[in-house]
Amino acid sequence: MVGLGAGLSALALTGCQKKTKPVSENTFWERQPDDADWKEVNASFWFSQHPRITYWRRHYDKTRDPWKLWKRAGRYLPEIRREFKEQKLPLELCLLPMVESSFDPLARSQRAVGLWQFIAPTAIDMGLIVNNRMDERLDWGKSTVAAAKYLKQLARQFNGNWGLVLAAYNFGPGSVSRATQAQGTRDFWALEVRQETAEYVPKFLAMVQLLRESFPEV
């Protein structure tokens, strides 16, 4: 997101809530310790070569969307990374707003709002205030803390199966749990889900893979 050869420390940190050291002191993509709160931490998931990921990689090579969004994310990534690292979440998840809101903290869809596109019930469950006078989904700092909390909750529920975690973030944990039970599989690629969710995961993974290859040392 920052141009060839530039590190994440070169990104403007204005807008972050705290003054801290640049995140480029450590590799952005560094793996987390193996002391997570769930049982099955599947690091290889992020490197999957599924045909749907290949399709979206080719698409993004033409549109250049991941690189455009990488630039836009510069204001937010240092703070997001600190929160997710503290929660021992895979740092790839820091980039989830790419497919959720295009890193627009004021983004609105039919029901979802903010950088992390929370619907109101989930936001409230995660401790955000959502009422007629205040909507903390629009506060990207607070909603980032809530997103980390929610993703960690999903990681525990699905035992670190990141395909199911991402699907649940998009489709809802109840819907994904019912699908896995009815179909007798916990393999996201074998699971029959709605089309939006079926494409959501490979789209995100395609972006992550392309950016990891473009900026391996940020």
Please identify every residue annotated as catalytic: 100
How far apart CA 118 and CA 100 sit, in angstroms, is: 9
Q: From residue 88, give the alpha-carbon distance in Å to each of 13, 27, 209.
A: 23, 15, 20
Q: From residue 172, give the alpha-carbon distance in Å to each of 52, 106, 119, 122, 167.
A: 21, 22, 11, 10, 7
What residues pair up with 20 in beta bridges, in sequence order? none
Token pair for residue 22?
């640049």
Type and span of the H or E element at 180? helix 173-183
CB atoms near residue 129 (< 10 Å): 13
Token pair for residue 54?
């290949």
In whole angstroms, how large is the CA radius of gyration of the chain?
Answer: 17
According to DSSP, residue 132 is labeled: S
